[in-house]
Amino acid sequence: MANVKGSSVCRTAVDEGKPADWVPGGEKQTVVDPMKMFHELPREMQFITGSEAARESMRRANIDIAIAYPITPQSESMQQAGYLYDEGYIKEYYRAEEEIGTFSAISGASRAGVRALTATSGPGLMRGMEAVSSWPGARTPIIMLNMCRVINTPLAIQPDNIEMSFLLNTGILLLHAENQQDFYDYPLAAIMASEQVDVTLPAVVSVDGFFCTHARGPVRITPEEYKLPPRDGWRSAVPAMDNENPPARISRDAPIQKSNFISYHMHASWQQEVFAAVERSAKYFDKYLGGLVEVINPDAEDFIIASGCAVSQAREAVRQEGEQGRIVGLVKVKTIRPFPTTSILNAVKNAKRILIPEFNQAGWLHKEVCSVLYGRCNAVIKDGPRVFGGMTMPTEMILEWLEEFRKETK
Amino acid sequence: MSLENLRPTPAFADVLPIEYRDLVEHGPYTNRTGDGSKQTVKVTDMGKFKEVIEEHPMCAGCAMTLFIRLVYIGMPNPEHTIVVGTAGCGRLAISQASVPFIYGNYGDTNAVASGLKRGLEVRFPNQKKDVVVKAGDGGLIDIGFQGLMHSWFRKEKFTTIMLDNEVYGNTGGQESGMTNHGKVLKMAPRGKFGDKVDALGLAKVAGVDYIARLAPTNPARVARTVRRAIMVAREVGHSYIQAYTSCNIEYSIPTPDVMKDAFEIEKERYGFEEIISPAAKAYLDEVEKKPKKKKSD
């Protein structure tokens, strides 16, 4: 960063007020094997918000550059990222002009071969969707934290995860965090999976806004002196745009701009490869997260399949049903993309009734589950209960739906 | 590093295409001084060395193509340069060059370049990498306006080059923000409403350190302007070049008269202008080893 002294772009740490002997926080950390970080390092319990959990995750993620535009409820996390930049845990950081600019810039950073992080919420995701949908085809490993909120009119800032449905068919890796703990663990796992050579894709970790981002919960975190290995810009399914390769035509457009059969075939095969890479990521998530799903009471006849905050509400419903002597199973879906088809099929093979509670109007998880269980499972699948626009989902609501479901389907 | 990557291993040297061997043996890479400040591959040598771009699918007589070739010749270090573009005629030629080209989404060039440049600085702290945006007038001043302006406000260290053909050529001849007032084009059946956007004025207000407007009438001047812009972006701040690159198809300029048109437009209204900040001036004086008081042009 040695630029002309006194010029407007001369911005070393010392220029920005740090003492000459300042050592960035990241340089005091030790790189640790990801599996060791995820499964072996000792953990300390902290009672923190989801945004603070995201900060602690970022602190250990060896992020090179973070770029974001503030939007509620994401803003708390990304201003925390600013503090991490100031402390030297993130090497480069700026507040972008808006989300198209944010998501374009973060794709440029990823093309440079560095680890790049951004975050957004609802309308911000919608605004930058053209850029986001181009990330997978450009084979850009990027980590995006997505704090879900309402996107439709009337405008609201309340939690609602309808925006996740817009990511389902992009070729992006998509995880859904249940709570503050997941919002600490999942980004770290997603980063490592996304940067594998046979994956090389962006990853989004969604969480239900406010319920998780602004509420405190117990989070077991690893010691801050350990961090993930850095991104290796040379290890990738496609070369970085760094001009460190023999001169060749390495732009991703290829001759696709032409209207002929070869161009159609190139685009189709490229897209097929993107979605095949999504499936290949499953083996990494399986070992990083200890499975793509979590199953409770696998022998039950009544099952709840849920993701995100709905899992927590379902857990309590399962517990209360148990107190009444009724065994209800639960499948927590951790990865929405890759969708854990086999794991779900195995989990619900004895089920008679499957309830799918969601925090959105469209019922995208219900549609996903139906699409993979159709013709392969004898259970009746019921879509609901659904709440949206900021509504909470009381446990009693799930219990009532279960009771009604049993009456409907003997 | 790149120059080493360029050279094939001896075992492969004789099976590589002649174009590749020409690039290695007669390309513009190794003829430069180490810091790229002095250009030993000259425009007047065109035809005597292997350009990084030769074949392209542009229209016959396209002035933009000539300008793009000159930009590549003017690059101080093409072996460490990445070009960013967007939809438009220009990318049809730019994507043919043996310099990495990011063909992004509509109007995203200056945002992509911002992240790219910062990422490259993190990853290669000891190797300067030049990032150059080459996009059309519509791509920058219309759909890419917000990204363009904010990259200027942030003083991002890359160069923006506007291929200003004053029309949406690639989509078939619609008026753009850079079209002159009153010009009848598609989507302007009664003539363009409003004036040609004063992009130079905006750049000046935004504090861009090196600003230039030109037409491709003087090839050596084009190459020198590009070199200056890239060197300033490398060390001082943002740089912006606006080049008149006529669309002979949509403006119905007979192919043999394309350069005549360029000379006429340059004389009538486009001209050649450089606006250089004091910091950029001092820096250019230093690298060009000219006395500080001497006029930079």
Kindly give the confidence (pLDDT) of every residue in chain A, 410 residues in length, as a single tens digit, with 9 standing for 90 and above: 345 554 445 567 888 889 999 999 999 999 999 999 999 999 999 999 999 999 999 999 999 999 999 999 999 999 999 999 999 999 999 999 999 999 999 999 999 999 999 999 999 999 999 999 999 999 999 999 999 999 988 889 999 999 999 999 999 999 999 999 999 999 999 999 999 999 999 999 999 999 999 999 999 999 999 999 999 999 999 889 998 876 655 554 555 566 677 778 888 899 999 999 999 999 999 999 999 999 999 999 999 999 999 999 999 999 999 999 999 999 999 999 999 999 999 999 999 999 999 999 999 999 999 999 999 999 999 998 999 999 999 999 999 999 999 999 88
Distance in angstroms (rounded) separating the CA atoms of residues A193 and B229: 40
Nearest residue to A149 (alpha-carbon basis) of A212, A68, A72: A72
Find residues 93-122 of chain A whose CB sits inside 8 Å of chain B.
Answer: 94, 96-98, 100-102, 104-114, 116
Min Cα separation A155/chain B (Å)? 24
CB nearest A247 (choices: B98, B118, B146): B98
Min Cα separation A95/chain B (Å)? 10
Write the single-letter amino acid at A238. V
End-to-end CA distance of chain B: 34
C-alpha angle B54-B58-B59 in degrees, rounded to nearest 5 = 130
Q: Are A7 and B279 in contact (CB under 8 A)?
A: yes
Q: Please write down the long-range contacts of A7-15, taking CB distance under 8 Å and 24 or more positions apart.
A: A7/B209, A7/B235, A7/B236, A7/B237, A7/B279, A7/B283, A8/B155, A8/B207, A8/B209, A8/B236, A8/B237, A8/B279, A9/B155, A9/B157, A9/B236, A9/B237, A13/A88
Tell me which DSSP letter residue B174 carries: B
C-alpha angle B221-B282-B198 in degrees, rounded to nearest 5 = 55
Considering the domain B2-287, what is its CATH architecture? 3-Layer(aba) Sandwich (3.40)
Nearest residue to B44 (alpha-carbon basis) of B216, B215, B218: B218
Average pLDDT estimate for B246-273:
96
Distance in angstroms (rounded) separating the CA atoms of residues B70 and B72: 5
pLDDT at B25: 80
Q: Taking CB atoms and an 8 Å cutoff, what residues of chain A touch B91?
A: 253
B23 touches chain A (CB under 8 A): yes
pLDDT at A12: 78
Min Cα separation B269/chain A (Å)? 32
User: Which tens digits make up the pLDDT trace of A63-89?
Assistant: 999 999 999 999 999 999 999 999 999
B193 touches chain A (CB under 8 A): no
pLDDT at A1: 36
Percent pLDDT > 90 in chain B is 70
pLDDT at A73: 95
Q: Looking at the predicted structure, is the pLDDT value of residue B100 above 70?
A: yes
The answer to whether A130 contacts B106, with C-beta atoms less than 8 Å apart, is: yes
Min Cα separation B266/chain A (Å)? 32
pLDDT at A298: 95
pLDDT at A389: 93
Write the single-letter amino acid at B141. I
Interface test with B, best of A7, A67, A135 (most B CBs within 10 A): A7
pLDDT at B164: 97
Torsion of CA A349, A352, A357, A362, to 10 degrees: 90
Burial class from Cβ neighbours inside 10 Å (0-12, 13-18, 19+) for residue A86 reads: middle
Distance in angstroms (rounded) separating the CA atoms of residues A281 and B7: 36
Min Cα separation B117/chain A (Å)? 7
Nearest CA in chain B to A117: B115
- Predicted ipTM? 0.94
Average pLDDT estimate for B109-113:
98
Task: Please list, in sequence order, all residues whose beta carbon lies within 8 angstroms of the beta carbon of residue A122, skipping any fewer than 6 positions away.
Answer: A71, A148, A149, A150, A151, A160, A163, A209
C-alpha angle B277-B219-B222 in degrees, rounded to nearest 5 = 20
C-alpha angle A20-A21-A22 in degrees, rounded to nearest 5 = 95
Q: Are B245 and B67 in contact (CB under 8 A)?
A: yes
pLDDT at A312: 97
Distance in angstroms (rounded) separating the CA atoms of residues A368 and A356: 11
Strand-pair partners of B160: B133, B240
The answer to whether B116 contacts A8, with C-beta atoms less than 8 Å apart, is: no
A219 touches chain B (CB under 8 A): no
Tell me which DSSP letter residue B138 carries: I
Min Cα separation A103/chain B (Å)? 8
Confidence category of residue B73, pLDDT binned at 50, 70, 90: very high
How many helices and strands, by DSSP H and E, does chain A display?
A: 13, 16
CB nearest B120 (choices: A106, A242, A252): A242
As given in the structure block, the two tokens for residue A76 are: 């708390």
The answer to whether A3 contacts B108, with C-beta atoms less than 8 Å apart, is: no
Residue B251 gets the label, from left (phi > 0), alpha (psi -120 to 50) or beta, of alpha
A379 touches chain B (CB under 8 A): no
Average pLDDT along chain B: 90
B146 touches chain A (CB under 8 A): yes
Phi, psi of A358 (to 5 degrees): -145, 155
Nearest residue to B84 (alpha-carbon basis) of B102, B70, B97: B102
B154 touches chain A (CB under 8 A): yes
Find residues 35-64 of chain B whose CB sits inside 8 Å of chain A.
Answer: 52
Q: Which domains does chain A have, with CATH numbers?
A: 25-227 (3.40.50.970), 293-408 (3.40.50.920)
pLDDT at B35: 53
Min Cα separation A367/chain B (Å)? 31
A92 touches chain B (CB under 8 A): yes
Interface test with A, best of B37, B81, B91, B102 (most A CBs within 10 A): B102
